[in-house]
């Protein structure tokens, strides 16, 4: 599954490079349009920077939620067009705002809590700070699955959060790889492509593709309730997916009309 996921994500990104660039630039423009004046205002000690932040962070999540839903369609081998954006936004904006509240609320309290416990300068405070840190890591692991889960699985906001946590725990090795390797690598490569390829849109495409492939496992386990997870026949389950992804050469990707 791992190598198929890499291959599929790369081919999907290449075939839909325009959509990827638009999604990345949308997120980049919102971020750069707000964070630069915030830094300047905060240097002067003005609370106006916080006011800008109140509007900027939800806007970032709204854009990211819409981009993720579009990347989910691409992961399902659908072409996205400009006309898909308004309808996609209408379907995602509520969940995007709710996850903004959860994310900002939790991590704000987490940072405050770790600062407070660390300032106690005692073993108890250090232990409490360490515990809060690992809880924050677990929440980060869960939240990274939220948009793909919301895009693909049914349920309200609370169920989507619950399913995100369950998928995270059930696929912990994959989640650790995504959070600590794939996400940093994509973000490091993002500026090298003038903020067009890789980046947030590439991460969401990868996450949505990962969940698409994991669904094959869960469908099989549902049909075989007595089976163990180590018995999942990945090769058989992904045969059709491998055929859809196919094989390509560098020449064929750059000059497809020559093959």
| Among candidate residues 109, 110, 127, 107, the one with its CA nearest the CA of residue 118 | 127
Percent of the chain with pLDDT over 90: 71
pLDDT at position 257 is 46
**3-state DSSP call for residue 44?**
coil
The rounded distance, in Å, linking the Cα atoms of 233 and 236 is 6
Residue 226 structure tokens: 């007595």
The rounded distance, in Å, linking the Cα atoms of 206 and 140 is 17
Average pLDDT on 142-147 reads 96
The torsion defined by the Cα of 210, 216, 219 and 221, in degrees rounded to 10, comes to: -90
The rounded distance, in Å, linking the Cα atoms of 75 and 65 is 15
In the chain, the largest separation of any two C-alpha atoms, in whole Å, equals 69
Say if CB 155 and CB 163 are below 8 A apart: yes
Number of other CB atoms surrounding residue 38 within 10 Å: 17
pLDDT at position 46 is 64
Query: For 157-171, what is each residue's pLDDT tens digit?
Result: 999 999 999 999 999
Q: Rg for the chain (alpha carbons), in Å?
A: 20
Locate all alpha helices (DSSP H) within the chain, ordered by sequence: 2-15, 17-43, 48-75, 84-119, 123-143, 146-152, 157-170, 172-177, 183-189, 199-223, 234-237, 239-245, 250-254
Residue 42 to residues 37, 45, 187, 199, Cα–Cα distance (Å): 8, 5, 25, 27
pLDDT at position 45 is 62
Query: For 196-224, what is each residue's pLDDT tens digit?
Result: 889 999 999 999 999 999 999 999 999 99
The rounded distance, in Å, linking the Cα atoms of 66 and 91 is 9
CA angle 219, 223, 226 (to 5 degrees): 115
Say if CB 229 and CB 216 are below 8 A apart: no
Query: For 84-106, what is each residue's pLDDT tens digit?
Result: 999 999 999 999 999 999 999 99
């Amino acid at each position: 599954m791992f190598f198929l996921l890499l291959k599929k994500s790369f081919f999907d990104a290449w075939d839909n490079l325009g959509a990827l660039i638009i999604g990345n630039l949308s997120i980049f423009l919102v971020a750069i349009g707000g964070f630069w004046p915030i830094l300047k205002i905060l240097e002067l000690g003005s609370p106006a920077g916080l006011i800008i932040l109140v509007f900027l962070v939800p806007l970032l999540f709204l854009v990211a939620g819409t981009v993720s839903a579009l990347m989910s369609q691409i992961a399902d081998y659908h072409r996205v067009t400009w006309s898909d954006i308004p309808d996609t936004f209408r379907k995602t904006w509520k969940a995007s705002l709710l996850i903004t509240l959860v994310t900002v609320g939790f991590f704000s309290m987490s940072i405050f809590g770790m600062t407070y416990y660390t300032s106690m300068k005692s073993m108890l405070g250090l232990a409490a700070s360490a515990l809060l840190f690992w809880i924050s890591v677990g929440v980060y692991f869960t939240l990274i699955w939220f948009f793909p889960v919301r895009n693909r699985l049914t349920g309200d906001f609370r169920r989507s959060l619950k399913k995100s946590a369950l998928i995270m725990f059930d696929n912990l090795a994959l989640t650790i790889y995504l959070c600590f390797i794939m996400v940093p690598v994509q973000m490091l490569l993002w500026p090298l492509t003038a903020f067009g390829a890789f980046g947030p849109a590439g991460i969401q495409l990868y996450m949505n593709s990962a969940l698409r492939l994991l669904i094959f496992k869960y469908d099989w386990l549902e049909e075989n309730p007595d089976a163990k997870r180590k018995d999942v026949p990945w090769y058989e389950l992904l045969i059709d997916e491998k055929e859809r992804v196919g094989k390509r050469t560098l020449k064929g990707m750059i000059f497809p009309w020559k093959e």
